[in-house]
Amino acid sequence: MTTAEPYETIHYHWFYNQQVDSRDSWQPFSEDDSQRLENAYTRVGKHGTEEVVVATEGRRYDVRLRERQRYAVYWEQTPTEVRRCSWFHKGSKDINFSPYTEELSEILEDAYMIAFTLNEWKTNLELPTGETVILHNPKLMTLHQNSCKDFPPSPSERSQPRTLKRGIESISIEIPEGEPEVVDHLVFMVHGIGPACDIRLRSIVHCVNEFRNASNGLINTHFRQGESTIGRVEYLPVNWHRVLHGETTGVDKDIERITLPSISGLRQFSNDTVLDLFFYNSATYGQTIVDTVASEINSLHSLFLQRHPSFTGYVSLAGHSLGSLILFDLLTNQKIDSETTGHDELHDDDPKIATACCSFNTLEDALRGQGLDEHLKILNREQVDLDSLMLCSEGDLKDIGIPLGPRKKIMNLVKKWKHSRAGSGHAAHSSGLGMRSTHEHQNTTTSAVDYQHFDVGIGQVSIDYPQFAFHPQAFFALGSPIGMFLTVRGLKRVDPNYSFPTCKSFYNIFHPFDPVAYRIEPMILPSDVNLPAMLMPHHKGRKRMHLELKEGLTRVSSDFLGSLRMVWQSISQVPTPALAEGGLNSMSPIEEPEDSPMEQEEKIMKVGMLNRGRRIDYVLQETPIESFNEYLFAIQSHLCYWESEDTALLVLKEIYEDFPVASSQS
């Protein structure tokens, strides 16, 4: 007589809900995170009143067990539901299984245990939802919708039951790998114009998540070997668009009032994206943007250290599009001896601003002149006049209820007003870029020219640059217009000896068809040197096949033309009376062939000091389909970096440059 198999307690796995196209999509936690949640649940009990917080997903999210909610730590995100899951259901048209609520799962498990223990199957179970579950056998269970008692069920209702599964082992689902606890390096990623960052219109958070996933996969395949002690790289998004276009600045309302009603969709898109370029080049909103970026990075850095107290690694910066220019301007204005965050001393030599600041005699006039008169009521209530405003800090203005945007404007006005009152001519703060204005004589040797104020109306607007709380190891510019902006500001060349005050490495990474990207190296190298950008290796360790074919055909063509040239030269050098009489000295010298790009690179040992003498410009390999029509893929190429494994690999090679683990190709 065979012995019946004993009833086995079900294995619980924790899931969280995320909205995809306005529909619920339940995602499993990693095994490690799920086990942490289960251990905490077991410790406090089912009906425990104590709130327990469990850090998950690389400590980027906190799960509050009693609330059953998952909260983002480093960015704003609506909390999502969390479930302790054991039973799952799926319809015939569904792709994935969805978990039942914990209450229904408990009812199903009790019924299953009774049927299994008594070996009584083909029983019906009425759920509180009005649905009926039929337990056919331990492996087959179905859910049926109950129709109205007065009408029999239709054939479609009878033939379309939902499938039920017990335990996560019974369903096909990919459980994500857990992330190592040890973080080797921290990278802050700053977005470009607009709220969307890629061709799928995803936010900076989603795009950075994509880049992090690519990085984690490459660490496993290229760096982590055997008993390697390599941990992981953490990437955190920096969102400045939300603050600039938030209610605190009121800029969206101001723009909306002057926007024409026609082609509203296109105008709204332009207001949300393209205008960011103009905002950055305005004194007021440019200050808001750099303040927001620096403040967000410093705040995230501090929060990260609180959650990773044993972190001993370095920090790097990455910026896409306009975000790279913002970081570039911040990095060129860092102080080497800066140990604390804060702003540099104001240096504003714009005569128009100085005149405007000192031409007001009352607080009312000063605020009205800057469009801030709506906040007069608050200041008058606190008995603040122009003189007392000079003594106020930003914290004081915050305490009395003035929003962030107007608060920044008022503080900026106060600083400039103090400066103009003092009447002292401050020397312009040079960033040390060692650049030359296009208005200077072409034969003048390159000298240190004021980065911000070398020529009124051409250089960057006056900005009071904040300081980072750390010295970055590297700066990665993705699809960057830095070179173009420097040229438009009137800067012709970069001193080869210049490097960022606090950052030792700089990489300018771009797709060959990116319409926004510009090079940096030609601004450093001699004008007669034509050095192509470095071709980035494919993450699988080889050049793309269509590029190898193109290169091979080019080489064959070059060899053929070279052979023809040699034959022609041998024919044309037959002695003539004139040549014989004049000898070799009278002959026209045979032109030396131009150096190939590789030979030029070998001759040039260093490409400036922005990247410690190493190459700066790195170009991605286009895909075969992109090579058919570069115009068709131009926009996509500017947004490709977030999903680019080749870009992530270059970042990792810089980060793990000195790590004693060799890259592996797979």
CB contact set of 268 (below 8 Å; sequence gap of 6+): 259
Strands ordered across the beta sheet of 98-99: 98-99, 87-90, 162-166, 140-144, 132-137, 123-126
Q: Which of 545, 534, 548 is nearest to 654 (CA)?
A: 534
* Contact present, 462 and 453 (Cβ < 8 Å): yes
Does the active-site annotation cover 321?
yes
* CB neighbours of residue 195 within 10 Å: 16
Report the relative pairing of strands 132-137 and 123-126 from DSSP bridges.
Answer: antiparallel
* Contact present, 25 and 83 (Cβ < 8 Å): no
* CB neighbours of residue 411 within 10 Å: 20
Q: Which of 202, 409, 435 is nearest to 288 (CA)?
A: 409
Distance CA 259, CA 209 (A): 35
Tell me the helices (H) and strands (E) count for the chain, helix number first: 22, 21
DSSP track, 146-190: PPPTTSPPPHHHHH-PEEEEESGGGS---PPPPPPS-EEEEEEEE
Q: Quick one: CA dihedral 638, 640, 645, 651, positive or negative?
A: positive
Q: Which of 501, 521, 505, 460 is nearest to 317 (CA)?
A: 505
* Contact present, 204 and 239 (Cβ < 8 Å): yes
Burial 494-511 (b: 16+ CB within 10 A, else e): bbbebbbbbbebbbbbbb
Q: Which of 103, 173, 107 is nearest to 135 (CA)?
A: 107
Distance CA 458, CA 489 (A): 5
Give 378's DSSP letter: H
Distance CA 392, CA 372 (A): 17
Distance CA 241, CA 273 (A): 9
SS3 state of residue 470: coil
Distance CA 593, CA 6 (A): 85
Q: Which residues pair with 82 in a beta bridge?
A: 16
Instruction: Specify the length of the chain in residues.
Output: 666
The one catalytic residue in 321, 430, 637, 644 is 321
Q: What is the largest CA-CA distance in the chain?
A: 121
Which helix (H) or strand (E) segment holds residue 387: the answer is: helix 386-389
Distance CA 174, CA 349 (A): 60
Which residues participate in catalysis according to the annotation? 321
